[in-house]
Structure 1
Amino acid sequence: MKLGRGFLAAALILSPLGLAGEDRPNILVILTDDMGYSDLGCYGSEIKTPHLDQLAKGGIRYTQAYNTSKCWTTRISLLTGLYHIQSGREFQHTSLVSEVLGPAGYQCWWSGKHHANFNPHERGFHHFSGFLGGAINFWNPGNARPGEPKPGWGSKYAWAFDDKVVQSYTPDKDFYATDRFTDWALGWLDEASEKKDPFFLYIAYNAPHWPLHAHAKDIAKYENTYRKGYQPVRKARYDRQVKMGLFDPKTAPLSDSGQGVAEWNALNEKTRHLESMRMATHAAMVDNVDQNVGRLLAKLKKQGKLDNTLILFLVDNGASAERTLGKAPQHEWGTVGTFQAIGRNWAKVANTPMRLWKATSHEGGINTPLIAHWPAGITTPGTISRETCHLIDFLPTWMELAGSKAQYPGNSKQERIAPLEGISLVPSFRGKPLKREKPLFFAYGSGKAIRQNNWKLVRNRSQDWELYDLSKTRTETKDLAKALTQRVATMAKTYEAWATSYLSGSYSVKQSGKKKPKDKKKQDKKPKN
């Protein structure tokens, strides 16, 4: 029996564990890579993202959602409900969402980026198609094809297609990563269209991570958009954010431009052209992600599954300030032979209005746009939520919606699996406040932070602790550390106690008595992924 949308919403409200049986929601999680906080139209951008904007209009935009500031660390927390330092690069001592929802009757599929060496198909995903590394050439992640230049970013990683692993993958000439990841997901939706079992579909796009590769037609849309320079674009984004109610200038003023951001007028004409084209290509990649989201929505609507599918869209970390790794392109912008990154100047724009960027624990590194859309279950569509949430909250949320059959740690064969750290976000779908008893912690590279209610203590590298009341200075513009030394000491002690329970001298989990070497990689250095 096909139930109406109103019945489904009412059933969710009445049931503490969400919907039961056939009416449990499908779950679609879309993760992008190195996209800035303000890169979506519904978060203030000039980039055209109509499909994601429509999801926001019919769902919830969260303004205080957190990731872990780095690609692989975010993926661990997202898929396991634990802090990454409780695990390791290979998801040790964890239970994956597939090992929890799979036994509860969910079909579990994963398309795109992994950033670990194991094959997800071996840990409960019924389908996995994607690469195991951190960054690929969007047009050709393998060997140079006849008649084409050598890939500008040519690092090769293993790929897996269900139970088959290949060490090098050279696809056909029609391959473009974002489009192909979507193709695979659409194929699984078709394959399971007649099945009654709900699905969990995770699409991990690697866009708009470097190298900056995009379709020429999409780049052309933005060729003239960024010639005005960094500051005018950033200010325009902030003004739109204020107008749409995301931020109040009194409590969230536009933060300063940050370390080492160049003055546009001080650049020569050639450099200004190169800089504007970098951002134009980045924008084209975000635009293409939105186009592919549109393809997914069209499929779900055609299958009659859109209303009862919880869609979550988020980003793995803030925009990246890693230096521009390639020289001026010898080929057309965005093509297979090029290798470019946006650098810190545009990263600051992408992260408007926040401070700093990827791999830091300031808001520009850890704050993600988060859109939740679920017509059958969200009772407050079109709203903005200022509830504080984190990646560790996602698995508890999915378990609640999957019902009593979803038991943690499921059928994971890992040892020493820690209890879940987060809380369910389901109350926020109904317009109710979240009740969090524990602080949130952040630890990656040189960044450390603890958020306790509205108070945040943060430091970068060996610098002094900074203290912010985020209810009054959401963008970290007024440091209260010198005025409130006792609060700094108390929060620092709480942080160190938490860190000590997992760490041994560096941000590495204790495993078999061995210590991993301290990550000495510095910002703006070429990443090893």
Structure 2
Amino acid sequence: NGIRYTQAYNTSKCWTTRISLLTGLYHHRSDRDFSNSALIGEILKPAGYRTWWSGKHHASFNPHGRGFDHFSGFLGGAINFWNPADKARPGEAPPGWRAVYTWAFDDKLVKPYLPPKGFFATDAFTDWSLDWLDEKEGKDAPFFLYLAYNAPHWPLHAHAEDIERYDGAYDEGYEAVRKARYRRQLEIGLFDEEVTPLSEPEHRIWSTLSEKERKEEALRMQIHAAMVDRMDQNVGRLVKRLEERGQLEETLIIFLVDNGASHERPRRGSKDPSAEWGSVGSFEAIGQSWANATNSPLRKWKVQGLEGGICTPMIAHWPAGIDLPKDAISREPCHLVDFVPTFMELAGEGTRYPKNLPRPDGVSLTPTFSGKELNREKPLFFQYGSWQAIREGPWKLVRQKTNPWALYDLSRDRTETRNLASSFPERVTGMGNRWEDWAREMNFATSKGPRKKKHKSTQ
């Protein structure tokens, strides 16, 4: 009753992804506080939807005042999963932390948030969501839930029993894991070896690491896997509750990630060097080599414009609405900006979109639910940091900073191994010009001239 998407795109960065996901706009049209855009909650509530948001919100405003009946979560980028405060609970080690953020529980703001002992963020985000599902008031009304897990973002924190489940799983190192994942992807039909060859490795050579380094590196990935495992368990809790309530058949569930695997290994923050990794006092991350393996078979990682930075695994599940054979795979290019148009179409009459704001940049994904192509008339555009890209049909043009554009035919070379720019100079010029025109429209500086005036919301 679902679809696996192999060419779904995010923005390569967490907070920009959230803007596009929640507004249907390229993140450049809005600001970090969404002050000139409508959130999906504001759009769906007039149609009678109950609206809830649990987990991460990488901005400074409280979503409870922006179309969400309930919000419980933190206003920041990364937290200690065990204790997001800056002080220890009685009888416990001090938390390893990088920054301490405000938490919001509907209208109540808390900083620092010192939860009771036994708290673990991934579990708590699900607990709150299940509580809302069980509310009696409005129980027959449709609902929209945005469950924004922070896992497996650093720091690497996980339950001991989940970590133990992966003992020895990563002892063979980066390349062995990367190749094993690739073989599995070929076996289940996600990729074709001719179209999607395994890209060149961009990790350290395992044999050059000391025994201590190898043990530590394997443990990093072991904890990372445990974090994903715990998230999977919690998604299972949500699915089970929907099934118990007789709502699973009619509920569309979409699962995806906000950027490619993170190469970051931040050194800022407080941590106890003697703390057991995965525990409240630790503060670790997987780093570039494991990010390369995790993104197999694609190139690069988070914040980069190559496929390893902007392509997201995505699953849509909807027994009553997806009419496709078992194990269906969609290879239609789709983007976060497509979510709001999809939800608006499915919600039907009653949704409200402010007339004074720019319309969503995406298209509805509903044709893919029956195996059809999307009705997309414009290319997909990308820009974050120094990376720029445009996807037009099977063609992708990408560059970093002012370097020459690279051109790839993703229908024949999904892992971007053969740069065809010199063979198709007119296509490079045309697509490059379209990217520049879009950049001016989106209001950030390009080689073609000044920025346009931004829209302002009066809602």
User: TM-score band (shorter)?
Assistant: over 0.9
Match of 2:436 among 460, 481, 496: 496
Give RMSD over aligned pairs: 1.9
Give the 3-state SS of the residue equivalent to 1:392 in structure 2: helix
**Cα deviations by residue, 1:397-452 (Å, 9 ceiling, x for unpaired):** 00111012123238xxxxx5211111101111011111210000001011110000
Cα pair distance change 1:324/1:280, threshold 3 Å: farther
TM-score normalised over the length of structure 2: 0.95
Match of 1:443 among 383, 396, 406: 383
Q: Following the alignment from structure 2 to structure 1, what is the Cα–Cα distance between the partners of residues 369 and 426?
A: 37
Match of 1:161 among 105, 110, 115: 105
Structure 1 residue 308 corresponds to structure 2 residue 260? no
Q: Following the alignment from structure 2 to structure 1, what is the Cα–Cα distance between the partners of residues 149 and 406?
A: 34
User: 1:456 maps to what in 2?
Assistant: 396
Structure 1 residue 391 corresponds to structure 2 residue 358? no
Q: Which aligned pairs between 1:158-307 and structure 2 lie closer than 5 A?
A: 158-192=102-136, 195-258=139-202, 261-307=203-249
Contact 2:96/2:272 (8 A) holds in 1:
no
Q: Following the alignment from structure 1 to structure 2, what is the Cα–Cα distance between the partners of residues 511 and 128?
A: 32
Q: Following the alignment from structure 2 to structure 1, what is the Cα–Cα distance between the partners of residues 138 and 395?
A: 49
Cα pair distance change 1:509/1:114, threshold 3 Å: farther
Cα pair distance change 1:194/1:473, threshold 3 Å: same
> 1:483, CA displacement in angstroms?
1.8
> 1:245, CA displacement in angstroms?
0.6
Give the 3-state SS of the residue equivalent to 1:370 in structure 2: strand
Q: Following the alignment from structure 1 to structure 2, what is the Cα–Cα distance between the partners of residues 430 and 92?
A: 36
User: 2:265 maps to what in 1?
Assistant: 323
Structure 1 residue 76 corresponds to structure 2 residue 36? no
Cα pair distance change 1:215/1:511, threshold 3 Å: farther
**Cα deviations by residue, 1:295-345 (Å, 9 ceiling, x for unpaired):** 101100000000000000000000001135378952112001101010000
Cα pair distance change 1:510/1:223, threshold 3 Å: farther
Residue type of the partner of 1:358? K
**Cα deviations by residue, 1:170-194 (Å, 9 ceiling, x for unpaired):** 0001100000000000000111487
Give the 3-state SS of the residue equivalent to 1:309 in structure 2: coil
Q: Following the alignment from structure 2 to structure 1, what is the Cα–Cα distance between the partners of residues 451 and 14?
A: 17
Cα pair distance change 1:182/1:494, threshold 3 Å: same
Residue type of the partner of 2:343? W
Contact 1:99/1:409 (8 A) holds in 2:
no
Cα pair distance change 1:444/1:105, threshold 3 Å: same
User: 2:295 maps to what in 1?
Assistant: 351
Give the 3-state SS of the residue equivalent to 1:265 in structure 2: helix
Q: Following the alignment from structure 2 to structure 1, what is the Cα–Cα distance between the partners of residues 230 and 432?
A: 43
Q: Following the alignment from structure 1 to structure 2, what is the Cα–Cα distance between the partners of residues 163 and 270?
A: 48
Contact 2:162/2:229 (8 A) holds in 1:
yes
User: 1:427 maps to what in 2?
Assistant: 367
Contact 1:325/1:341 (8 A) holds in 2:
no
Match of 1:405 among 350, 359, 363: 350
Q: Following the alignment from structure 2 to structure 1, what is the Cα–Cα distance between the partners of residues 46 and 436?
A: 37
Structure 1 residue 151 corresponds to structure 2 residue 95? yes
Residue type of the partner of 2:417? T
> 1:104, CA displacement in angstroms?
0.5
Q: Following the alignment from structure 1 to structure 2, what is the Cα–Cα distance between the partners of residues 329 and 278?
A: 15
Q: Following the alignment from structure 2 to structure 1, what is the Cα–Cα distance between the partners of residues 318 and 263?
A: 34
Residue type of the partner of 2:353? Y
Residue type of the partner of 2:186? V
Structure 1 residue 375 corresponds to structure 2 residue 319? yes
Contact 1:86/1:509 (8 A) holds in 2:
no
Give the 3-state SS of the residue equivalent to 1:109 in structure 2: strand
Q: Following the alignment from structure 1 to structure 2, what is the Cα–Cα distance between the partners of residues 336 and 470?
A: 43
**Cα deviations by residue, 1:226-265 (Å, 9 ceiling, x for unpaired):** 010000110010011011111111111011113xx20000
Cα pair distance change 1:148/1:134, threshold 3 Å: same
**Cα deviations by residue, 1:329-382 (Å, 9 ceiling, x for unpaired):** 521120011010100000011111111000011100010011000000000142
Percent of aligned pairs with the same amino acid: 60
How many residues are aligned here?
449
Match of 2:59 among 116, 128, 133: 116
TM-score normalised over the length of structure 1: 0.82
Q: Following the alignment from structure 1 to structure 2, what is the Cα–Cα distance between the partners of residues 481 and 146?
A: 61
Give the 3-state SS of the residue equivalent to 1:306 in structure 2: coil
Cα pair distance change 1:271/1:511, threshold 3 Å: farther
Q: Following the alignment from structure 2 to structure 1, what is the Cα–Cα distance between the partners of residues 404 and 125?
A: 43
Match of 1:85 among 28, 32, 38: 28
Gaps of 5+ in 1: 1-57, 411-415, 514-529
Give the 3-state SS of the residue equivalent to 1:102 in structure 2: helix
